Amino acid sequence: QKEVEQNSGPLSVPEGAIASLNCTYSDRGSQSFFWYRQYSGKSPELIMFIYSNGDKEDGRFTAQLNKASQYVSLLIRDSQPSDSATYLCAVSNTGKLIFGQGTTLQVKP
């Protein structure tokens, strides 16, 4: 079992819709959870991090964490074509980040 699992996609949504990206992790000791966006040929850029159970909102993005279910998700409201990218979930409990394989999101105009 991979430590951090994501559906590779592609996930295709129409412009203006809500995109829902999911991630599960195996290490119950994980304490920090991150979502990164990576455009093709570029390095990852941090979108959000979440440490506590529940929801955390930042603009069009909402991260949701459920430690009991070992599940973290990212919702993107009012999706735009510029949101088309690979979204990487990363988990940490020792200061090191363990990445999932990423989900490719396609937002169609």
Nearest approach, Cβ of residue 14 and another protein (Å): 25
- Alpha-carbon separation of residue 16 from 5, 52, 77 (angstroms): 27, 28, 7
- Residue 82, helix vs strand vs coil: helix
Where in 38-67 is the site for another protein (CB under 8 A)?
A: 41-46, 49
Token pair 């909402």 is found at 62
* Among 26-34, 54-62, 66-74, 77-85, the segment contacting another protein (CB under 8 A): 26-34
**Binding of another protein by 84 (CB under 8 A):** no
**Binding of another protein by 17 (CB under 8 A):** no
Q: Which is nearer to another protein, 17 or 49 (CB)?
A: 49
DSSP of 48-97: EEE-SSEEEEETTEEEEEETTTTEEEEEESS--GGG-EEEEEEEESSS--
Size of the site for another protein (CB under 8 A): 21
Q: Which is nearer to another protein, 6 or 62 (CB)?
A: 6
Compute the distance between CA of residue 107 and CA of residue 109 in angstroms, rounded to an integer.
7
Residues engaged in binding another protein (CB under 8 A)? 31-32, 34, 36, 41-46, 49, 88, 92, 95-102
